[in-house]
Structure 1
């Protein structure tokens, strides 16, 4: 397993991250009463294969709860990230309390504001940024960042110098503006987390998707797998990265032309 420093956080995380938002997918739920056990097995397989970075969100309490149960007893060995979509300090604090309870932890390594309409500023009237600083001073969160679908919000976060990480969609099909944002993260030493490496399920070619992202050494893709078999494929290409050659580049271009 390859590891990378996540920007200014100095957290050493696996370059292959586990997206726990898939722990309530239909494939897992199809196991009925055994769904919790199946989710736990997938998480444990990821951990035992070397993945130490797990990302989830309060927007899916079931996923947080299943992740927390699966990581019971090994919390100190992993980096745990979650998110809040709330827009006031009081609601953010409440979200964090509920997340910590579900995750069976007394802190999170990375706390992310999820899809904020505007970027919270230091000493802003909304009080959100100062709330994050307070939570950090209380050792409830170690680091904080932004998770957004909006490239402009992410860009603003990078340039502001206020946030340690940004998470946004980045894959074979994203545009040049997003690629420039990825480069900007590296220039400013901001942790770059790629959501939707398979473009929300549009892409099925895992080696192509993995190889494309693997070219960017500072990028940490979050893979939301639905089965142990899917996880196995991702882990295989983590150990055997696709060769980036002319043929690979041509395949990337063919996929882009097909979807465009």
Structure 2
């Protein structure tokens, strides 16, 4: 497994990261009473494969709880991130408290605002940015970021320089504007997390999707796997990245042309 610095943070994360928001997917829930055990097995498989960066969200409380249970005993060896979609101080504080309990942790390595309506700034009347700074000073969270599906919010997050990490959808069918955002993250040393590397399941060619994203050295994709077989495939390509040659690029272009 290759490990990279996440922007200017001191977090050395696995370049292939685990998206835990899929731990309540249909495939896992199909195991019924054994669903919790199956989720735990997938997390342990990821950890054994070298993944040390696990990302989830308070919007998926069952996923947080399953991730927290699965990381019991190895929490100190992993980098843990979650998000809040709270739009007020009260909501953010409430979400954070519940997330820490669900994840069975006293601290978060990365705490992200999820799809905020605007980018909270210094001295903002909502007090949100000041609260995030206070949480860092207290050691409750180590680093802060914004996760968003909105390109303008993502770009403003990078340009304002107040946040250490930005997370946004990035896959091989993303528009050129997203690639420019990736480049801007690299220039400003902002951690760049790619959500939806398979575009929410629209892309089903894992080798092409993996090889495409692997070209961007500053990008850390979070792979939300539904089965152990799918995770094993991702881990395989992590160890054996697809060769990016003319044939590879031709196949990628066919898919891009089809969707765009």
Q: Which TM class, normalised by the smaller chain length?
A: over 0.9
Instruction: Please give the secondary structure, in 2, of the residue aligned with 1:8.
Output: coil
Calculate the TM-score normalised by the size of structure 1.
Answer: 0.99
Distance in 2 separating the partners of 1:10 and 1:69: 26
Residue 127 of structure 1: how far off its partner (Å): 0.6
Query: Which residues of 2 match residues 24-39 of structure 1 at below 5 A?
Result: 24-39=24-39
Distance 2:218 2:248 in 1: 21
1:71-102 deviation per Cα after TM superposition (whole angstroms, max 9, x unaligned):
00111100000000001112111110100000
Greater mean deviation of Cα atoms: 87-96 or 217-226: 87-96
CA distance in 2, matches of 1:116, 1:133: 17
Per-residue CA shift, 1:161-215, capped at 9, x if unaligned? 1000000000011001100000000000000000000000001100000000000
Residue 38 of structure 1: how far off its partner (Å): 0.2
Deviation of the 1:135 alpha carbon: 1.0
The corresponding residue for 2:250 is 250
Equivalent-residue separation in structure 2 for 1:258 and 1:183 (angstroms):
25
Q: CA RMSD in A?
A: 0.5
Find the aligned partners of 2:121 and 2:193 in 1 and give their Cα distance. 21
Secondary structure of the residue aligned to 1:105 is coil
The equivalent residue for 1:175 is 175
- Alpha-carbon distance between aligned partners in 2 of 1:247 and 1:48, rounded to the nearest angstrom: 33
SS state at 2:111 partner: strand
- d(CA) in 2 for partners of 1:75, 1:149: 29
| Counterpart position of 2:208 | 208
Runs of 4+ in 1 over 3 A off after TM superposition: none
Q: TM-score, normalised by structure 2?
A: 0.99
Unaligned regions of 5+ residues in structure 2, if any?
Answer: none
Structure 2 Cα separation of the partners of residues 218 and 110 of structure 1: 17
Query: Given the alignment of the two structures, is residue 133 of structure 1 paired with residue 137 of structure 2, yes or no?
Result: no
Output the CA distance in 2 between the equivalents of 1:226 and 1:69.
Answer: 18
